[in-house]
Structure 1
Amino acid sequence: MDRDGVERLLDEAGVDGRRLRHALTLLCDGQWWTLADLVRETATSRRTIEALLREVSPERSGDRFRVPLAHTPDFQDLLAMAPPPEDPVAHLLPHYAPVLERLRRLIDEAPRARHALDHVAATPETVLRRALLLGARFWLRGAKLLCVGDHDLTSLAVKLVHPETDVTVVDVDERILAYLDAQDLGVQTRWADLRLSLPPSARGHDLAITDPPYTPEGIGLFVARAVEGLKDDGRVLLAYGASERTPMLALKVQDSLSALNLAYEAIYPDFNRYFGAEAIGSAADLYILRPTTKTRPAVTARLDRLTTAIYTQGPQSIESTGSPAAAGGPGEADLLVGDWPKELPQPRVKLSTWLAKPYAAAVERVAIALPAGLEAALPRVLLATRAARVRVLLSAPSSLPDALRPVYELTSDGSVLDAVRLPQPIGDEATVLRRILDNGHGKLANTWREGLIAVARSQGTTLTKNDARSLIRQAAPWAEGVTPLETPLHRLADLPTTVSATVTALSKAT
């Protein structure tokens, strides 16, 4: 034990010494603590806690620590006996014990984190407290909440606590979207790579919440997309944390927020706690941000400077040099999509524009460059065209999506994928399905409806629009308002079955 060393650490910490004193208090309370639990409980970086442990010379039991009971009196005058700042919704937690227990199970069974997407799981208590704070600060009955990314399952917590809230999740991770839908709590799911676009149906919300990659680029992009999804009088709730050792990083992130001309309504320190992220104390503040009249022009300017490198690790990390699509030429393409050498003569279009709206001219052959880190967009870039032949150059071989089998014959040669559009099918069910998938930018339910009406007409009967809508609503209540491009893959994979159900019901009705 080195009391002098502990005092030196506390003196060096100055007014920030309360975190260290809190950690010392926990080590002296007779309980055993793991390093991860100490970091999370005190919201103090791992390096700082490790420095304290070196000075107190704790006794060990496996991976757990504590100050020997005989030595705790030596530190009594150094302890921080006052509790940490009050949690604004801590008093509500005891009333939601069954919800917390269910969230624990949901989080335990959720898809595992993907490091390339900077996933770090929030604790069940944190997710519940987010839902409680939303309800304590805002009137949620009939409100529309947008979760901009939801690996933490905040959407499920909100639906469990405030089932009357309309909740939509946009996420690039198909596993998360499928898991959320499997819980059948009424959460609406949309696929989106926010570096490319926000789904058209994910707009007009009252509130948005996001826990994005903790880089200035990631924060700026996710918050800009959150604002894009809001009504003019909405709010953005943002989870962001930095180590007490890196205030300059926090300043860079806050500069990216200031560039969006957002007003800070509140910052709740250390509100969010995590399993992991020990470099930042396994904790993050919760910001409540309000757009101003200058915010939307700033968001537009921010999105015009879009960068795909927003993560802290993986092929699209801010420190990577960027991995282009696979080496190779576009072949006999009439149109180039993505980044291609400037000397190529063909007309070209950005990936984001390609997904946002149909290309104006009819083209027979398209070549698409899909860089590393954007592989999840592969099914969407194929659905976004009616070209007869599409070549996609990838940075590495990628699995072929089964949902596209009714549209394309797909062949893969390493990292080059060639898709040849199949002839129009024969049969009512196959025709309706193909009609939907051929209209990637169109409202899925509307295309489906027109397909059913055409089938009825071919059978010599009449089907009204309302009757067609009713058939679709019974088979696929999720289909209203969504386009194939933003529909999660598990929904697209189920389309043959659900389309068949509506065609069968139509045949029985006639």
Structure 2
Amino acid sequence: MTGLSDVADLITEFGAYARPHRVALALLDRGGVTLAELIRETALPRRGVEELLERLADDLVRDHERLGLTPATAPAYRERFGLAGLLPDDHDRPPAELIIRMQTIIDAAPAPVRSFDHVPATAETVLRRARWLDRTFDLAGATVLFVGDHDLTSVGLTLVAPAARPVVVDLDERLLAFLEQQPGPIHCRWADLRFGLPDDLRATADLIFTDPPYTPDGVRLFLLRGLAGLRDRRLGRLLLAYGFGSHQPALGLAVQRELTSLALAYEAILPHFNRYHGAQAVGSAADLYQLRPTRGSWAAVDRGGRAPLAIYTHGENSVESSGPGVEAAELIAAGAGPDPLPVAALVTPERSRPAVRTEPPRVDLAEVLAGPGVIRDARSAAVAVDATADPGPWLARILLAQSGPRIAVAVPNGHPDLADQAGQQALRALVAAKWELRFRRSTPGPRLAIVEAIRVDPADLSPADTFRRAILDGAHRSLENAWRDGLVKASRRAGAPLDRDAARDRTAAELPAELRETRPITLPRSRLAALLARANDT
């Protein structure tokens, strides 16, 4: 009985910590289980499960992807390892019909983005999170800010606790568009959290929930943004999903040191609370942390500081990627154009100094996206922007943020706004009242592209496009003010001028209250496009 004795040696080796291995044996005894299910249900790393399967040898039966113990040997395993009663019962599971409903929503959602470290949680986990929040806190009227929500936990919350107010801030435009279509309602804002939290989300939330990238810098950044979003500095709480492989405690320690550096007190850690489709290196599982800020936490928020770009584990923005890069001189020349304009600034995603004295000043992209006025002479000179690290959403935001006569933006050649005709047409339609665009693919090299934007003369615009232009030019203003001014300018162009009081009344009637203090640059792109499309009716 080589299989049985080899497995016994493994169980003995782990001693008091062998329960997950015994649970795996109980699942195999039940039969019909896949490798992914074994990892997810036991929270063992993939290599730990594979070692157990190797030791089972001929006592393991395989039916395509399904695994089980052979009928002849299963009784011996039950007796030797006490498998009876090891598997959890279903008394605390969410109702089956609710799991099916949540799974249907997940299946309809945009696919995970590997470069954003998206690993989807199971439908049951999403609902367990929502039920745990509802049983732990009084959520009626409470604002729960999801700092990233690729798992759709905000949707689960609307199913379990409809009196709560979920708010999502995320980088993924596809996800935000999907969430805005849910009956929730779910309030959505766009942000690349490396550049900051939208102003209208600061100090607004009662609770924070985040399942961040699992790098130390990623966890720290998402928690910092969550802290900035908390309304109550005395009673506020943050909920963090984070896990590390049982064979890699040093990785867990590195992240927990970041929690300590933020002076966050641990009120609870629920082991293996979260289960995932994927992330097998960490056992397809993560713990749920309940964290309480202290005085030192707020000091860390007030200190601020620039977040690193490389917070992910995959893709161009991963900790190991160098990205395609672009030569400053080539980009500056593209910014100047054929009839050379002076180039007021070279905008870069990370702080840097000019390579030569004749190069224009360098400006941080985070500052450009945060507000106007950071580039001297920006309204009369060209601007060059290095967005070669753009994961997708930056390009449209850069075009919203700038209003000079000409911009040249370097992006990856496979950028979603350039990769096909549909993407190009969608971007053109979004900014048509402000910019005329030219796409130069594979320039200055095969991995890069240059997007040239020439400012549209406002004198050539129709009344509807005059209204759109006011929204686009007012990207850093409150939407309420930009909308009101757009009505005034469009009415003048149409020959039926409104005064400011009348425009203010129409704005109040036409614009949803929850959007009035929002800046257009932080709206989900789908929502901004829908608002601009209303210009003909307005």
Q: Structure 1 length as normaliser, TM-score?
A: 0.91
Provide Cα deviations, 1:171-211, integer angstroms capped at 9, x if missing partner: 11111011111123210111111112211122221111111
- Displacement of 1:257 in angstroms is 1.1
Letter in 2 for 1:248: A
- Displacement of 1:492 in angstroms is 2.3
Whole-angstrom distance in 2 between the partners of 1:254 and 1:175: 31
- Displacement of 1:276 in angstroms is 1.2
CA contact (8 A) 1:44 1:281 kept: yes
Whole-angstrom distance in 1 between the partners of 2:396 and 2:23: 51
Match of 1:479 among 501, 515, 526: 515
Structure 2 residues not aligned, in runs of 5+: 337-342, 419-423, 442-448
User: Structure 1 residue 421 and structure 2 residue 448: aligned?
Assistant: no
- Displacement of 1:155 in angstroms is 0.8
CA contact (8 A) 2:26 2:87 kept: no
- 1:355 equivalent in structure 2: 369
Structure 1 315/426 Cα, relative in aligned 2: closer, same or farther at 3 Å? closer
Structure 1 397/411 Cα, relative in aligned 2: closer, same or farther at 3 Å? farther
- 1:78 equivalent in structure 2: 81
- 1:14 equivalent in structure 2: 15
- Displacement of 1:442 in angstroms is 0.7
CA contact (8 A) 2:470 2:485 kept: no
Letter in 1 for 2:440: D
Provide Cα deviations, 1:153-173, integer angstroms capped at 9, x if missing partner: 111111122222121111111
CA contact (8 A) 1:46 1:278 kept: yes
**Structure 1 residue matching 2:407: 3-state secondary structure:** strand
Question: After superposition, where does 1:361-440 map in structure 2 within 5 Å?
Answer: 361-363=376-378, 364-396=381-413, 398=415, 399=418, 400=424, 401-402=427-428, 403-414=430-441, 415-424=449-458, 425-440=460-475
**Structure 2 residue matching 1:410: 3-state secondary structure:** strand
Match of 2:242 among 234, 240, 243: 240
- Displacement of 1:321 in angstroms is 3.2
- 1:505 equivalent in structure 2: none
- Displacement of 1:81 in angstroms is 4.4
Whole-angstrom distance in 2 between the partners of 1:249 and 1:295: 22
Q: Mean alpha-carbon deviation: is it higher for 386-395 or for 117-126? A: 386-395
Structure 1 202/323 Cα, relative in aligned 2: closer, same or farther at 3 Å? farther
User: Structure 1 residue 467 and structure 2 residue 467: aligned?
Assistant: no
**Structure 1 residue matching 2:276: 3-state secondary structure:** strand
**Cα RMSD (Å):** 2.2
Letter in 2 for 1:2: G
CA contact (8 A) 1:326 1:393 kept: no
CA contact (8 A) 1:397 1:416 kept: no
Q: Mean alpha-carbon deviation: is it higher for 313-322 or for 56-65? A: 313-322
Letter in 2 for 1:359: G
- Displacement of 1:267 in angstroms is 0.6
- 2:156 equivalent in structure 1: 157
User: Structure 1 residue 499 and structure 2 residue 499: aligned?
Assistant: no
Whole-angstrom distance in 1 between the partners of 2:121 and 2:56: 30
Structure 1 residues not aligned, in runs of 5+: 503-510
- Displacement of 1:315 in angstroms is 1.2
CA contact (8 A) 2:466 2:489 kept: no
- Displacement of 1:467 in angstroms is 2.2
- Displacement of 1:39 in angstroms is 0.9
Provide Cα deviations, 1:369-404, integer angstroms capped at 9, x if missing partner: 113244421111121121111111224353242311
**Structure 2 residue matching 1:334: 3-state secondary structure:** strand
CA contact (8 A) 2:437 2:453 kept: yes
**Structure 2 residue matching 1:268: 3-state secondary structure:** strand
- 2:486 equivalent in structure 1: 451
Structure 1 113/410 Cα, relative in aligned 2: closer, same or farther at 3 Å? same
- Displacement of 1:299 in angstroms is 3.4
- Displacement of 1:501 in angstroms is 2.0
Whole-angstrom distance in 1 between the partners of 2:157 and 2:295: 29
User: Structure 1 residue 141 and structure 2 residue 140: aligned?
Assistant: yes
Structure 1 343/15 Cα, relative in aligned 2: closer, same or farther at 3 Å? farther
CA contact (8 A) 1:335 1:366 kept: yes
**Structure 1 residue matching 2:259: 3-state secondary structure:** helix
Letter in 1 for 2:289: Y
Whole-angstrom distance in 2 between the partners of 1:218 and 1:84: 35
Question: After superposition, where does 1:212-223 map in structure 2 within 5 Å?
Answer: 212-223=212-223
Letter in 2 for 1:404: V
Structure 1 300/369 Cα, relative in aligned 2: closer, same or farther at 3 Å? farther
CA contact (8 A) 1:445 1:472 kept: no
- Displacement of 1:99 in angstroms is 3.1
Whole-angstrom distance in 2 between the partners of 1:478 and 1:79: 57
- 1:506 equivalent in structure 2: none
